[in-house]
Amino acid sequence: MNESKEFDLIVYGASGFTGRLVAEYLVQHYANDSSLKWAMAGRSTTKLAQVRDEIGAPASTPLVKADADDLASMQAMVDRTKLVLTTVGPYQLYGSQLVELCAKSGVDYVDLCGEPVWMREMIDAHEQTAQASGARIVFSCGFDSIPFDLGVFHLQQLAKQQFGNMVPRVKGRVRKMRGTFSGGTAASLKATLAAAKQDPTKMQLLLNPFSLTPGFQGAPQPPGNKPYFDEELGSWVTNFIMAAINTRNVHRSNHLLGHVYGKDFVYDEMLMTGPGEKGEAIANAVATDKSMGGDGGPKPGEGPSKEEREAGFYDALFVGINHDGKQIKVSVSGELDPGYGSTSRMIAESAICLVKDQVDTAGGIWTTAPAMGEKLIKRLVSNAGLKFTLEA
């Protein structure tokens, strides 16, 4: 890593809704940390200055003009920092150039991407370049997919201690969640579906659970798209909207870790809706809900109020089952709404972990578990309001 860089990290998109929350988190938690040098970047320094003042950042906080339509300004931003943290999505529309610049320049990169087809395109195009330059590109550093990727990773470490081996089957089950999905997530979903409809190869990637493991196709995976009663958990379960990205990232982590979870590893994610007729009714309602792909809901740049964010939470259960049928359970829970409040903390801590704690991670295109693993878990528990709990 080039120690002569002016900044440890730059928040690109800091005047947008989520980028602003990231900058605010850095102000609140790292204002007294003189060892962390960071800046705010975006298209308009006037807007950046306004946000800087509104979130209580010091007047000396550096502002960097960077516009996706101006390649020179983007390169100039990349040249000044060790890492770019970007909240500017949908990434398939606004992110490709930045990934390429970071990969070529040996500069680290973290984002909030939940777009598996675009991610695969970036892996195919830039992984070798990143490996050669030393750039660590880490996608999906928010609610998609940190609690799930690190939840499975943490469970597998505990399973190895308890059983002597990692487990070949993990169920991810979201028990509770309150919060709205971000406008960026909705926009990404729409852009992904639109692109897939135009291109059959993109649709194949979208449907393939191993779309992020080039050259490897694992065991058949549960479809996860129809409600059913899970006898083991005593609850109805139904499709979980983030499963399409989270499962791909978990399989990529296993791939990058040398298939330590097993080459026959099976993982699915579902939303728990409770027992009885009420649980069944909710499960069926969720299964038929198409609002995320519609025109309602938040637009990019919009989001819930501070009160709504602070009232949010989430709780996901991971059930590991070994070859003998023995189980191990781990939960990952977080305070604040998942899509904004918790996500802004998670990506900030991912960025800091990468530049401060994980200096030995090699260049390449990563997921959070193999890139940062237990060090990131420690940061999230200490600073970001997450809990990783071994359950009885």
Q: What is the pLDDT of residues 106-125, one digit of tens each?
A: 999 999 999 999 999 999 99
| Residues 60, 63, 67: CA angle, nearest 5 degrees | 180
Closest alpha carbon to 352 in 19, 26, 20? 26
pTM for the model stands at: 0.94
Domain boundaries, the chain: 7-142+345-371, 146-336+385-391
CA dihedral 333, 339, 344, 350 (to 10 degrees): 60
Q: What is the CATH number of domain 7-142+345-371?
A: 3.40.50.720
Average pLDDT of the segment spanning 175-194: 77
Report helix angle 146-163 to 368-383, nearest 10: 100
Which ranges of 220-275 would DSSP assign to H, the alpha helix?
243-256
Q: State whether residue 219 is helix, strand or coil.
A: coil
Residue linked to tokens 């900058």: 23
pLDDT digits (tens, 9 = 90+) for 265-304: 999 999 999 999 999 999 999 999 876 555 655 666 677 8
> What is the percent of the chain with per-residue pLDDT over 90, rounded to a whole number?
81
d(CA 165, CA 156): 8
User: Residue 43: helix, strand or coil by DSSP?
Assistant: coil
pLDDT tier for residue 184 given thresholds of 50, 70 and 90: low
Closest CA to 154 of 329, 367, 354: 329
* pLDDT reported for residue 181: 64
